[in-house]
Structure 1
Amino acid sequence: MQPRNSRLNSAALRGAVDLAAVKAAGEAAQKAEQARAERARQAAAGEAAGEAPAGTGYPLVVDVTEDTFEAEVVQRSTEVPVVVDFWAEWCGPCKQLSPVLERLAEEYAGRIVLAKIDVDANQLIAQQFGIQGIPAVMAVVAGQLVPLFQGAENEANVRKVLDQLILVAEQRFGIVGTGGTGGAPAEEGAPDAAPRRPEDPALAAAHDALDQGDLGGAIQAYRNVLAEQPGNTEAKVGLAQAQLLQRVEGLDLQTVRAAAAADPKDIEAQLRAADLDLVGGHVEDAFGRLVSTVGKTFGEDRDAVRLRLLELFEVIGPDDPRVTAARQALARVLF
């Protein structure tokens, strides 16, 4: 099994943003567990009665409005990962990306749902998500918002992101999309979900602390794991995430960005802006800002920025193509 937090390489910040419509991640996860139990009960009853298994009946691609957001995105996310595509009619790149997302939603046959949100018609939702440019793609899993990527991506990269999202949903939240109205049926004999291994209790406690917003507790718990298991990649990524979220607590996005723009030589301002960029899903912006800052600094300042960039690489994951590109850019400015 891959490390939990590196699986969603495009931004697996579990708990980075809680949707206003969800009181807590724990409540959403509990709903998900109840929904799974009910589906299992219904499936067992149907099997006993000799009935063929049925899908959940939800559409795989749905246009979402402010009126339907709660039901189609938040509540649905307790049953299946919901990928949210922010688009507009005037957006050229959106017209390239949206068909790819729609086609993959059908191909994945119920393992994800695609929710399409027209930002012009649903400005309040766009504001709540902090959308600053489109196309922008995010996901909601058990009520948790996970930024995926911004801008048009090719199908291969989108497929990688979706595969990693599904793994996060299955192995962290236990959410397995099992059906829908559309898409090809699963291969006969294919397993319903990836096997789940027993989890290290110390690591589970660290994850729980992070999910509950106890960032100080999560940081200490991850450090405890690493003291016993220095090579535990999952704990390293969890620690990087918890530290990132702790750093951005209480920061005002507009104030931070204004300070960074006003003084490009202010190292702390650039570090804060990069942190907020990453939490907001602007991965390339965060990396680009720090690579550029490394190129303009020397000595201890350069080392501080370089080390922060390496921490952000940990959060996203080494296999993400944006990390690969940023590493190459960093090497160019260093050498």
Structure 2
Amino acid sequence: MEPLNPAAMRGAVDLSGLVSRASAPAAAPGRAAAPPNGSAAPSGGVVREADDASFGEVLELSQRVPVIVEFYASGIEPALEPIIAGYGGRIVLVTVDGNRSPQLAQAFQVQQVPAVAAVIGGRPLQLFVGMPAEAEVRQVLDQVLELAQQQGVTGVLEQDDAPTEPVEEPLPPLHQEAYDAIARGDYAAAASAYRTAIAQSPRDQEAVAGLAQVNLLLRLEGAVAADVRAAAAASPDDADAQLAVADLDLSGGHVDDAFGRLLDVFPALDADGRTAVRTRLLDYFEIVGADDPRTIAARRRLTALLY
């Protein structure tokens, strides 16, 4: 991998606007401010979850210690925790669900997941997309530490600050097989494992969602975002072109854009095109989650269009 260039920090996207958006309103005298509904607040440990509403605290933390931001989505779980834990508090890992944090996905220019960036002194730096081998990941993290030292960000979190995590149940064998395949970038093998899991247990919703996510990654392999968007703009009534750009939208966390694009084009399509769009939307519903308000609204609109 190319060495990280300190000069790249100067051209990074400014994330300072997220601080004001993430800050909760001041509480009334004598009352504590409550976190926003559904928001994930960073905890005290070296591995924590964040979202659009809580990322301001992450930016503040990055003034003390370099922060690695790992974007994931349903069916693709974060993979860096064991590696980060070995750095003894010199690096913090923040995990972000790209589908549920569209502002962060846009700010970090995330086109697909998994995607990993760093934040040093409040400034972001893109690191890699996909999950390289562990040795390559450690090489990048070592370079992040060197760059952080040059920027004067040399704090260390005490390991005692980390909360005691409950022991996680092991994944079912086929899910673990899929997870391992995703971690090494072999999406075809992951899809095969999920399909086998579904064949054995058709009601395995985790496998269904995982397969939808992996199929999305397979469709995006080798895609050039600018070319995909240009083709969609040139052929607004072409189902394949709109499906391709909707994949880009969803992978970047722009869920409403992906849903809206396909639902807008649906009425003008022929029978085959409508079938393709309906099938893709059902996959998106699995990825985003059946209980997500955006899914509920899109499903209601699709039903109205069908009948």
TM normalised by structure 2 equals 0.55
* Counterpart position of 2:302: 330
What amino acid is the match of 2:102? Q
Q: Secondary structure at the match of 1:219?
A: helix
Shift of 1:96: 5.8
1:27-49 deviation digits (Å, cap 9, x = unpaired)? xxxxxxxxxxxxxxxxxxxxxxx
Matches within 5 A, 1:260-299: 260-299=232-271
Fraction of identical pairs, as percent = 38
For 1:116, which of 59, 63, 67 is the aligned residue?
59
Offset at residue 20 of structure 1 (A): 8.8
Alignment RMSD (CA, Å): 4.1
Letter in 1 for 2:101: F
The structure-2 alpha-carbon separation of the partners of 1:303 and 1:87, relative to structure 1 and needing over 3 Å to count, comes to: farther
Question: Relative to 1, partners in 2 of residues 1:318 and 1:263: Cα closer, same or farther, differing over 3 Å?
Answer: same
The structure with higher relative contact order (CA 8 Å, sep 6+) is 1
Q: CA shift at 1:325, angstroms?
A: 1.7
Distance 2:226 2:25 in 1: 31
Report the CA distance shift for 1:275/1:107 in structure 2 as closer, same or farther (over 3 A).
Answer: closer
Correspondence list, 1:1-335, <5 A:
66=9, 86-88=15-17, 97-100=21-24, 104=35, 109-110=43-44, 111-112=48-49, 114=55, 115-116=58-59, 142=80, 146-147=97-98, 148-151=100-103, 192-335=164-307
**Offset at 1:229?**
1.3
Q: CA deviation at 1:283?
A: 1.1
Q: Label 1:243 to 1:107 Cα distance change in 2 as closer, same or farther (>3 A).
A: closer
Give the secondary-structure state (helix, strand or coil) at the position aligned to 1:66. Answer: helix
Gap runs ≥5 in structure 2: 27-32, 61-70, 72-76, 81-92, 105-156
Find the counterpart in structure 2 of residue 45 from structure 1.
none
Deviation at 1:116, TM superposition (A): 3.3
Q: How does the TM-score come out when normalised to structure 1?
A: 0.51
CA distance in 2, matches of 1:140, 1:268: 31
Q: Partner amino acid for 1:324?
A: I
Alpha-carbon separation, structure 1, partners of 2:165 and 2:203? 27
Whether contact under 8 Å (2:178, 2:190) holds in the other structure is: yes
Q: Give 1:274's aligned amino acid.
A: A
**Deviation by residue 1:261-306 (Cα, 9 ceiling, x = unmatched):** 1111111100000011111111111111111121222312111111
Count of residues in Structure 1 that have an aligned counterpart in Structure 2 = 202
